[in-house]
Amino acid sequence: MILGRFLMRLLLVPLGGALALLTAVLFMIAAHWNRFAAIAAERAATSDDIAAAIVIAGPWVALGIMVSAAAMMLPAALGALIAEAFAIRSWIFHVANGGFSAWFGLTMGEVSGPNGFYTEPLIAIGAGIAAGFAYWAVAGWSAGFWKPVFERPQSVDAPPAA
């Protein structure tokens, strides 16, 4: 039982981390859509090729954002490790962990990324909060391989008859 749960955690935690990173990237692209479209437009030869430019340039810009977001979300791995060790399943913990790790990553290193997507700290922290919620939705709600998610209620013995 506990081995199966441990193997499930080995699958869910990386999957949750990958989805959190994807959520942060999509949040940053949505928040900076005008800048994203301008980058794609400058790669387009004519104004008619904007859709093709987004398809071609979009993945490269998203990859650059993802590398910077991954560097910012590395402190969140420590929070996820703490949540797994102590079976912390609160969505508030994971959302705060994402927001704090984004803030910490902004203040501790140069993660401006390509084209300056991380110049506005409020948007980056919002991306961290969204990433924390995405992680909780996939892996955080059932954290801790040693503590079952759905426990059967303990039977209460009836008091002795008088």
pTM of the model: 0.76
Structure tokens at 5: 């749960």
- Write down the pLDDT at residue 93: 94
Nearest to 72 by CA among 96, 105, 95: 105
- Tell me the per-residue pLDDT of 133-155, one tens digit each, with 9 for 90 and over: 999 999 888 887 666 655 666 66
Contacts 24+ apart (CB under 8 A), 147-154: 147/87, 148/5
Where along the chain do its domains lie? 2-142
Residue indicated by tokens 């420590």: 78
Q: Are 105 and 72 in contact (CB under 8 A)?
A: yes
- Tell me the per-residue pLDDT of 20-39, one tens digit each, with 9 for 90 and over: 988 988 898 899 888 877 77
Confidence of residue 71 (pLDDT cuts 50, 70, 90): confident
CA 121/CA 127 separation, integer angstroms? 10
